[in-house]
Amino acid sequence: MDQNTDHEKIYKLTGYSFKNRGLLMTALTHSSYASEHKLGYERNNERLEFIGDAYVDAVVGAELFAIMGKAREGVLSRCRADIVCEDSLADTALKMGLGELLYLGKGEEASGGRTKPSILADAFEALMGAIILDGGYEAGRAAILRLLADRIRLGAQGKLNKDFKTKLQEKLQETGGSIKIEYRMKSEKGPDHNKTFTVEVCVDDRVIGTGSGQSKARAEQAAAEDALSKGV
């Protein structure tokens, strides 16, 4: 990978230009790559993730406090949790294309590490931590709000909860009567360490949605989301 290209891409994604490009390199370096190349623990992104985790929480929390009026603490906490959870940050990182910029060891590369939610979420937090260390709190705050703007808006409106299975069940139960909801495995593809599952959700044996994911649980959620998107 080319560090100058990485720098340009990160600038386009975040609006922030690193002064210390070594710090950016560290933010993009997974522990598997650092171990493989004998770089030492201080050269992987885990310590930056520690910083970013706290700041992302703080920035999102402050923004929700400002825009949600007199919402109670419990409501604010649930909204923040929806926004900063692993799935949410991983999805943001995936849409950014952050996975393609990561430095991974050969094992992680082979096992689909560039799309693993845990790796993507950690990398997002590490990148935010690096921006804060390089440019200060306001630079980090601006990047966080830029990248999470849509999720903060949806979270404040209570529309970010990812439990699509529960939402689908509640939606179908509005019609009353007895309804049989079933999730059926349609296919499994790929090696054991990097499988993709495809699931169909059925109501009274009628397929109403299909979804795929790297676990059965994620595939079921995707199938329920698909059914909801069709106005079931």
User: Which tokens in the block code for residue 224?
Assistant: 């329920």
Tokens 């926004």, located at residue: 83
Q: Are 15 and 143 in contact (CB under 8 A)?
A: yes
Active site residue 53: yes
Active-site residue identified among 125, 134, 200, 220: 125
User: Which tokens in the block code for residue 154?
Assistant: 């949806």
Active-site residue identified among 53, 82, 122, 134: 53
- Closest C-alpha to 22, from 49, 42, 37: 42
Q: Supply the Cα-derived Rg of the chain in whole angstroms.
A: 20
Q: Where does 102-176 have alpha helices with state H? A: 106-110, 117-135, 137-147, 149-156, 164-173
Tokens 């689908």, located at residue: 168
Q: Where does the chain have alpha helices with state H? A: 3-14, 21-27, 31-36, 46-67, 73-84, 86-96, 106-110, 117-135, 137-147, 149-156, 164-173, 216-229
Tokens 């919402």, located at residue: 71
Backbone angles phi, psi at 168, to 5 degrees: -65, -45
DSSP 148: S
Active site residue 125: yes
Residues with a known catalytic role: 53, 125
